Amino acid sequence: MKLHSYIFLFLFMWPTLVLSKIQAVTTFTVLEDFVKRIGGDRIEITNLVPSDSDPHIYEPTPQDVKKISKADLIFYKRLRF
């Protein structure tokens, strides 16, 4: 019975999974370009640090935190620049 429930749930959710774009957040423009090239039309990207800003001094805003919390995927570089 449990397996049938999972199968039903999967079939019910399938159109939403296929038709909706993946919401992704990137931390700087190089990652944004990389993710765009791989994801193509299936991904919608929000970049946190604009190209005219210095990523070394970037501080996240409350709006950035909200964007991150709504994202399906987050791409960031852990090492220092």
- At residue 45, the 3 state secondary structure works out as strand
Share of the chain above pLDDT 90, in %: 46
What domains are defined for the chain? 21-81 (3.40.50.1980)
Residue 39 in contact with residue 73, Cβ under 8 Å? no
The reported pLDDT for the residue numbered 4 is 64
The pLDDT tens digits for 17-37 are: 667 889 999 999 999 999 999
Measured distance CA(8)–CA(2) in Å, rounded: 10
- Read off the pLDDT of each residue in 57-68 and give the average, rounded to a whole number: 92
Q: Record the pTM.
A: 0.70
Residue 50 in contact with residue 30, Cβ under 8 Å? no
Q: What is the largest CA-CA distance in the chain?
A: 56
The reported pLDDT for the residue numbered 18 is 64
- Averaged confidence pLDDT in the chain: 84
Measured distance CA(34)–CA(76) in Å, rounded: 12
